Amino acid sequence: MGDRPGGDRGGMTSSVIAVSGLRKAYGDKVVLDGIDFDVAAGSVFSMLGPNGAGKTTTVNVLTTLMKADAGTVRVAGHDVVTGTKEVRSVIGVTGQFAAVDELLSGQENLQLMADLKRVRSAYRVVTRLLERFDLVESAQKMVATYSGGMRRKLDLAMTLVGNPRIIFLDEPTTGLDPRSRRTMWEIVRELVADGTTIFLTTQYLEEADQLANRIAVLDQGRLVAQGTPEELKRLVPGTHVRLRFADLSDLDAAARVLAGSTRDDQELTLRVPSDGRSKSLRDLLDRLDEHTIDAEEFSVHTPDLDDVFLALTGHASTEEIAR
């Protein structure tokens, strides 16, 4: 799981992002239905939710791109409405779709950012970012020729020009291959190690679990849960054994034998609560043997955020649906 700087600071430290009673509707459609949360300085806060939950709207309001209907948002102590300029001077934003200039080279994109931010010794800043993001080889090529992963990296590099203290990442790894995703995670960890605060939205539970100090689960415009990954996992029933059977009659037989289990007729699976110790697992297998029931598949599950999401929202995460 790695180090999480700022992980144990809890609510005692000053929060750099404070949101209360945030509401936003487009016509009749309520997108954000009164959400509250705080983000501690130097931590990673992840907003987790399926497509259409309101994550991007939240990012847009927090980054001054959109006005909320109600509620207050303070970023680095400034109100996003009355202190727009001050907020903008301390934040960096990488949106869901790479906001890069396709007709410029990677280097020129970074140079443009450095010029607009009036960065001193821009050449050195640009060169260092190209090295850090492993873009030196393609630095002189037009971004139109870049792969999706390279664009995302460049986008984030552009966001880092001028060293913003607070960085917003809206689904930074959606659509990336596993390797690029890991690179992105590494970069996020490095940033936090340097003291940057990260607000990150994702629809991947694993990503939130990997990176975040605190997670807020957003579903249909409401925050249905908030806490550390461990706290959230404690919300759902513990370890269980999952058995899959060849047909319904086997499933029936097993369900009769194993008290306290829950069945899924469609998947032909049975979920049996267990403590995961070898003795109780052996007992379980022995019972199946006694009744000559053969399971196709046997696996031990410790609760992950997928279970949390399912339990909290009553529907599977997007990732789950996508399978």
Partner 1 sequence: MSTISASWTDSRIMLRRNFKHMLRNPVTIFNGALMPVVLMLLLVYVLGNAFSVGERYIQYATPGLILLAITYGLAGTAVSVNSDMTKGIINRFKVMNVSRSAVLNGHVAATVLGSSVAIAAIIGMAFALGFRSSATVGDWFGAIGIIAATAFAAAWFTVALGMAARTPESAGMAVVPLILLPFLSSAIVPADKMGPVVRQFTEYQPFTPIIESVRGLLAGTPSGSYAAAALAWCAGIALVGYLWSRATFNRRA
Residues that bind partner 1 (CB under 8 A): 63-65, 85, 88-89, 91-93, 95, 97-101, 103-104, 108, 112-113, 115-118, 142, 158
CB 94 to partner 1: min, Å: 9
In the bound state with partner 1, the residue whose beta carbon lies nearer, of 166 and 192, is 166
Which amino acid is located at 291 in the chain? H
Nearest to 129 by CA among 153, 98, 97: 153
In the bound state with partner 1, the residue whose beta carbon lies nearer, of 83 and 273, is 83
Residue 215, token pair as written in the block: 């997670």
Complete DSSP assignment for 15-75: EEEEEEEEEEEETTEEEEEEEEEEEETT-EEEEE--TTSSHHHHHHHHTTSS--SEEEEEE
In the bound state with partner 1, the residue whose beta carbon lies nearer, of 14 and 145, is 145
CA 278 to each of CA 21, 274, 288: distance values in angstroms, whole numbers, following the listed order: 48, 10, 16
CB 99 to partner 1: min, Å: 4
CB 63 to partner 1: min, Å: 6
In the bound state with partner 1, the residue whose beta carbon lies nearer, of 91 and 254, is 91
Strand, coil or helix: what is 195? coil
CB 55 to partner 1: min, Å: 16
> CA-CA distance, 175 to 262, in Å (whole number)?
35
> CA-CA distance, 139 to 56, in Å (whole number)?
30
CB 42 to partner 1: min, Å: 21
In the bound state with partner 1, the residue whose beta carbon lies nearer, of 115 and 265, is 115
